[in-house]
Amino acid sequence: MPMQNHELEALLELAVHEDFGENGDITTAALFDNERCSARLISKDTGILAGRSAFAQTFRYFDKNTEVRFHRNDGEVIAVGEHIASLQGKARSVLGAERTALNFLSFLSGIATQTHKAVSAAMEGGRAIILDTRKTMPGYRQLSKYAVKTGGGSNHRMGLYDMILIKDNHIDAVGSIAEAVKLTRRKWGSRYKIEVECRNLDEVKQALTQKVDILMLDNMDTDLIKQAVALAAGSLQLEASGNMDLQQIREISPTGVDYISVGMLTHSVKAFDFSLQIEIEHEQREPT
């Protein structure tokens, strides 16, 4: 789901306040007035591009007349040394927006790149779909989940409002899986999908007696997951979860689970490295 403009603008307001404070960009203000500049966005990594809109909108937030032209699309593989985008505008605006714009692009391209690696790992002998989680930086969920989709993954629930996920604390609080499902059905009927987190095979067996849509197999090893798949026998969808890395994804995808949810896609991703090379356009003076 792409991020809505007003949501991105709220993040931009926070970013500008963090960087500019009450005095603005005091370095650039001392060095430049109305000079214009051109700039080249260069990739210093290899991976998946994501975040073009956020990058461009950041510069236009500072100055709507700043021109940003991308040479590659979100979702495409980019390599070290590639010229990704060109910019033209006032030097003060471009320099003021530079770090915030690069932060967005580096963060989102890092998520997309890591997602692409996870999706590729899942396809090595398996068919599991890679899902993101709610382990996102507050305020950045829409952007983060957009980057996951750009990298080839899929979005799990967006928040607490669009899908029922009965987790271990819920089950322990009400006493049983059956009671938790009964209470949610009483409240919402069939309005929302219901997923139940299972910590062991006994809970899998309990959940299979209820009318639910998905079982989350939480922190189970590969052998237990295989047994859970056999117990379910295709009667509902299964999601494997719990500190997944690429090697675990390779091992678990062939077991027959439908989904693997991966928190590291958004909570501990390595930023993608870009460089913005800026050239100031000085006015030509007539010789005296």
With residues binned 3-state (H G I as helix, E B as strand, rest as coil), the percentages for the chain, rounded to 5, are: 45, 20, 35
197 a catalytic residue: yes
Task: Please give the full DSSP string across 87-101, using - where no structure is assigned.
Answer: EEEEHHHHHHHHHHH
Residues 129, 258 contacting (CB under 8 angstroms): yes
Annotated catalytic residue: which of 99, 127, 182, 270?
99
Say which amino acid occupies 165: L
Contacts of residue 136, defined as CB under 8 A and 6 or more positions apart, other chains included, come to 144, 145, 266, 267
Residues 155, 131 contacting (CB under 8 angstroms): yes
Annotated catalytic residue: which of 36, 72, 117, 135?
135
Give the integer Cα–Cα distance in Å for 51 and 60.
Answer: 14
Residues 134, 141 contacting (CB under 8 angstroms): yes
Annotated catalytic residue: which of 167, 193, 199, 250?
167
82 a catalytic residue: no
Annotated catalytic residue: which of 63, 82, 213, 218?
218
Give the integer Cα–Cα distance in Å for 272 and 77.
Answer: 12
The whole-angstrom distance between residue 175's C-alpha and the CA centroid of its chain comes to: 35
Residue 217 sits at φ, ψ, to 5 deg, of -95, 100
286 a catalytic residue: no
Among candidates 151, 139, 155, which has minimal Cα distance to 1? 155
Give the integer Cα–Cα distance in Å for 264 and 270.
Answer: 10
Annotated catalytic residue: which of 197, 203, 239, 258?
197
The single-letter DSSP state of residue 200 is S
60 a catalytic residue: no
167 a catalytic residue: yes
Q: Is 164 helix (H, G, I), strand (E, B) or coil?
A: strand
For the chain, what is the radius of gyration of the CA atoms? 24
Residues designated catalytic: 99, 135, 167, 197, 218
